Amino acid sequence: MPLFRLLAIALLSWIAYLVLKNFLRQVRQRAPAVSRRRSDFTKVLRCQRCGIHVPEDEAVHREGKVYCSEQHSR
């Protein structure tokens, strides 16, 4: 039955295409997570008032000292 064999090959290649497409989508979604994890290693600074540790980009700098919030910098 050549027709049946042809259909089976077509079906198998279609499934393979779907699996590959799904796999590529997963790889693409995983890529940003890796770079996000790498950015977690940003410098952490200690608040001069309460001693809490805050990421450098969230810290408040005032008169050469580091604070966790605008409130503590006053």
- Binding footprint of Zn ion on the chain (CB under 5 A): 47, 49-50, 68, 72
Give whichever of 65 and 72 is closer to Zn ion, judged by the CB atom. Answer: 72
Bridge partner residues of 7 (DSSP)? none
Residues in CB range of 55: below 8 A, 6 or more apart: 42, 43, 44, 45
Give whichever of 49 and 65 is closer to Zn ion, judged by the CB atom. Answer: 49
Q: Considering the complex, what minimum distance in angstroms separates the CB of residue 72 from Zn ion?
A: 4
Where are the strands (E) in 1-74, listed by range? 44-46, 53-55, 60-62, 65-67
Q: Considering the complex, what minimum distance in angstroms separates the CB of residue 67 from Zn ion?
A: 5
Q: Considering the complex, what minimum distance in angstroms separates the CB of residue 48 from Zn ion?
A: 8
Bridge partner residues of 53 (DSSP)? 46
Give whichever of 2 and 64 is closer to Zn ion, judged by the CB atom. Answer: 64
